[in-house]
Structures are given as structure tokens and as C-alpha cells.
A = this chain, B = another copy of it.
Amino acid sequence: MKALVIGGDGYCGWATALHLSNRGYEVGILDNLVRRYWDLQLGVETLTPIAPIERRIERWRELTGKSIDLYVGDITDYDFLIKSLRDFEPDAIVHFGEQRSAPYSMIDRDRAVVTQVNNVVGTLNILFAMKEEFPDAHLVKLGTMGEYGTPNIDIEEGYITIEHNGRKDTLPYPKQPGSFYHLSKVHDTHNIQFACKIWGLRATDLNQGVVYGVLTEETGMDELLINRLDYDGVFGTALNRFCIQAAIGHPLTVYGKGGQTRGFLDIRDTVRCMELAIANPAEPGQLRVFNQFTEMFSVGDLAMMVKKASVSLGLDVEVEHLDNPRVELEEHYFNAKNTKLLDLGLQPHYLSDSLLDSLLNFSTKYKDRVDMKQILPKVKWRR
């Protein structure tokens, strides 16, 4: 079984590629390495120093005897994409290859346009390539829980059965994304749904929550396999950022009231979810949607949990409420379903003191690499 991991040099992609390789899949990585370039442009760096992709792959082979094919190029270049697919002949196409930061997409018009064009055209190219030459492959695509926004009703997994004026239908769940990035994922979802319908393709859309953690079984095997850990205002996500702030004695930066509730998951569950989705492919003609998270927390809850765990490590942690740079409800209903991956066998790692300890220890280990100028958010949503 061959899995091509597009975006396999990124945070989720690298961990997934190694996990699949470890579990016996033949793995290829396709990546344009632009994520590293954006770091350069923004003047930010992962907390954990990451090796060049070639060196990472070489080290993996040295340690495990397993090789990973590498295709360096851009999926918005159809010619490159189709040639890579012909060479690798994937059974599963795992697609992490998108601009994935909401703040990045909100920096300015150029970044908004780049985000949407990059993400939408890349996915369109994959769909056309599948239609033309790989109609039986299974597309496993990263979406985001942020596609749903915060509706005042329960969030289902991709579809909702609506009774209206005495009639009933099951329709795509209404989307209220909160950034040009989140919007690009909604665009993708609609495009994939259509392609599955008219061409009989099979796809799974994984609406992932906020991922935390840095270690997986595989990336923890060697310093050269270490995964990236972003804490900056553009690419850092809430929990990772809080742990790093705690490690360096910076107040935890909660946006606004902190009542924003979201789905979260451990990166060890991310890689397991990918494996489960690949091992249980969607039917032809179907876009299947899974909500990929294990627990729901408010941002304020997270900050309090980090504060509590930090105290047990002897760290003194304050919580600071910043003006919210985003336009979002700070108090709202949020109840999202996530049973489909559990039904396939996912056994979640729950956020616990031990995990916080581990993430906090990691943060402490590399705290000298923290650039204080990058901690606070600089990108604003409002006019």
C-alpha cells in the first residue's frame, strides 16, 4: 500500500509520513518546501531546530532501513504533479500541502490571494490528476474544524439532516469560516464533493481541530527526526504557544475573554487518524467527512491548565488577556461530534498533566531559541 504525503515536510505531514512508514506503508513525500521559505520571509523559526528534508529522510533510513521517496515541487504546477504521481503510483494521496495559517492569510491582500489560489488550485490539480490517471486512489485531505465556525446548534460530521417545511434532506453542513485560510478549506470541500460526485472519485475530508504536542513515536527516535514546533504569532497554535510562553516566563496570551471553544488533539492522534482513514478508504463517488479532534476546551481553560501544570514544574505563570486580533465570538455554544474516527478504532491521548509536562519540558529545553519579538500577535482581522 503506497501513500504519497503531499506537504510531508510540515508539522503534521512529517509526523504522518514517518508514522505511515513505520507502520509498513510505502511512503513518498511531495513538498515544495515553501513553509520553510515563509519562515525566512517572516523572520520566524521553529522552536525545535529541524533538519533539511533530505537529511531527515536519510536518517530515517539509517535508523529503520525504510526509505521514503522525495518529490520537491509545487502541486499548483500540474505537469510536476502528474509526473510525480506517475512515478510513485499512490494508492492513497494524503494532502497536507496547503497554506495552513489563519493569521498568514490575514496579513494583507497578497497573502489572502496566495492562500486561496495556492490551496484551491493545488487541490483542483490533484482532483484532475486523479480523474485522468488515478481514479481509484483515495484522497485523504486535511480540512479544519474552523470550516464550521461557531453555530448555535450541534456540529455534525460534514453533513446535516434538515427538516424544513415538512420535507427532509441530508445536506452539506453550513459553513461559517473565520479567515481567508479557513475559507480556502471550505472552497476545497465544495470542489472535492463535486469531483467525487461527477467522476466517482473517493475522498476523505479530515476536519482537524487544533493540534498540540511535538513528539510522536517516530519523531522522538532521533534529534534529526525532530518535528517543528511553532510559537510565533502567525504559525503558532494556542496550546503549543502557551507552553512555550510558560517556559520562558512570558504571560500566556489569551485573546479577549478566552471563551472561544475549539476541538483539540494530540499530534500522536493526528498520525493515527491518518492511518485509520487510509486503512478504511471512502467508497467511490463519496466525500466522507470526519471531525478529527478528541476533546473540546475553551482557550481560557487551556491557559488555566498550562498554568496549573507549570506550577507543578516550579514555573511562575501569569495569564494576560489581549485585545482579540480576530473577529470571533468570545462566548458561544460549541458542541461538535467526533464519533466516526473513534468508531474506526482511534484511542485518544487525552490532554493531561503528563502531556503538559512533556510539552513544557520540551519548551524548556529549547527556550534559549525563543525570539521574544515573535510572541505577540501582529496580524489583525479588523479594518
Contacts and interface: CB of A to CB of B under 8 A. Distances in A.
Interface of A: 78, 109, 112-113, 116-117, 120-121, 124-125, 128, 131, 135, 151-154, 160, 162-165, 167-169, 171-180, 183, 186-187, 190-191, 193-194, 197-200, 327, 333, 381-383
A164 B154 contact: yes
A175 B178 CA distance: 18
A170 to B, nearest CB: 9
A182 to B, nearest CB: 8
Given A160-B164, A187-B190, 12 more contacts: A116-B120, A116-B124, A116-B187, A153-B165, A153-B169, A160-B174, A171-B174, A171-B176, A179-B194, A180-B191, A198-B327, A198-B381
Contact of A169 (B113, B152, B175): B152
16 contacts: A109-B128, A116-B121, A116-B124, A120-B120, A124-B180, A154-B164, A160-B162, A162-B164, A173-B174, A177-B194, A178-B194, A183-B191, A198-B327, A198-B382, A198-B383, A199-B383
Contacts of A169: 151-153
B162 A180 contact: no
3 closest residue pairs by CB, A with B = A171-B174, A152-B169, A153-B164
A186 B193 CA distance: 13
Is chain A's interface secondary structure helix, strand, loop, or mixed overall?
mixed
Contacts of A199: 382-383
A280 B153 CA distance: 32
Nearest to A182: B194
A109 B122 CA distance: 12
B194 A168 contact: no
B194 A383 contact: no
Contacts of A113: 121, 124-125
A198 B382 CA distance: 6
B167 A154 contact: yes
B190 A168 contact: no
B383 A131 contact: yes
A198 B247 CA distance: 34
Contacts of A151: 169, 171
Contacts of A381: 198
Nearest to A120: B116
Contact of A172 (B78, B124, B175, B197): B175
Contacts of A168: 152-153
Nearest to A198: B327
Contacts of A186: 187, 190
A125 B154 contact: no
A21 to B, nearest CB: 31
A154 B162 contact: no
B333 A167 contact: yes
A193 B176 CA distance: 9
Nearest to A383: B199
Nearest to A76: B113
